[in-house]
Structure formats: structure tokens, C-alpha cells
Amino acid sequence: MQIPYRIGFGYDVHRLEEGYDLWLGGIKIPYEKGLAGHSDADVLLHAVCDALLGAAALGDIGVHFPPTDMAYKGIDSKILLKKTCELIRQAGYEIGNIDATIAAEAPKINPHIPQMKTIMAEVMGLTSGEISIKATTTERLGFVGHREGMEAYATALIMKRQ
């Protein structure tokens, strides 16, 4: 029996370092440090990609966009998200909704969430009402609390096309 609904979970983490831009949810946020990585290191979009790929049992972001491939060096993660959505639809699924959380001590994320939702909805072919983004701190605990990095968690619901 084929179940028409599937859920997936995604997680990503990157170090905060000087000399990088801070990209979250497809937008550039002013801050003295940015996230370091092979691509633009957008932890939110990477977590969403992994949630979608996991829901469809298509592996993870590293399988489809490996950090060893120089074609993805410095790439805009919105491109990775768009390609991930195409993979999901090619596999016969539609995206129901996304629920994500960003853990960061600074800068303040909440003022940027409406713009993130708008950009992500455009890239994914969804409405902003189908995307939930929340932000939290770790109460100054761990690497996030010490402002050494950021992490993001995401869940995705997909449905088999009839």
C-alpha cells in the first residue's frame, strides 16, 4: 500500500566567521560575520532541502549537490532549493508545507522572517502561508550560544500526485 503523505526532517549547521556574508532563507542579512561553507552556507535553505529530499527518500543535499563538486562552490542556495523542488516534483510529489526553526544568538532573525517566507515561496512555487519559519536562541549555551555558528531544523510534508 502506498501512503499518499510523507514527511521529512532536515538539519544543517555552519560556522560563523568574518569575511563571509550572512545568507538565511535566501536573503542577505547585515551582520559582522557570515556562515562559512562550500556554497553560500544558508543553513535554513539547506535544512529545507534535506527535509524535502528525506520525505521523498531521495537521499540528502550532499548526494545531489556534493561539496566536492566545484560547480557548487559559492552557489546561491536558492538555486539548490529550486533544483530540490524540481526533484521532488519529478518523483511524483507535491509539496504541502514547510515548518522550520533557525537557532541563532545574533543577529535578531524575527524581523527578516516575512521576507524569507516571500523569497522561499517564490522559489518553491508555494504561498508564504505554506511556509513557517521560527527563530530561537540557545540561551547562550553551546556553539550557537557562543556565537560560533548557527543551525536550522526543518520538516516537510509532501503528497503523492494522483
In CATH terms, the fold of domain 5-160 is 60s Ribosomal Protein L30; Chain: A; (3.30.1330)
Mean pLDDT for 34-50 is 96
Q: Round to whole Å and give the CA distance between 157 and 3.
A: 12
To the nearest 10 degrees (0 to 180), the angle between helices 113-124 and 43-55 is 40
Per-residue pLDDT for 105 more than 90?
Answer: yes
Instruction: Compute how many other C-beta atoms are within 10 angstroms of the C-beta atom of residue 50.
Output: 24
In this prediction the pTM is 0.95
Return binding residues for a divalent metal cation: 12, 14, 46
Per-residue pLDDT for 66 more than 90?
Answer: no
Work out the pLDDT band at 1, boundaries 50, 70, 90.
low
Mean pLDDT for 157-161 is 95
Nearest to 53 by CA among 45, 136, 115, 149: 45
Return binding residues: 12-14, 38-39, 46, 60-62, 136-139, 143, 146
Ramachandran class of 133: left when φ > 0, alpha when ψ lies in -120 to 50, beta otherwise: beta
Q: Domain limits of the chain?
A: 5-160
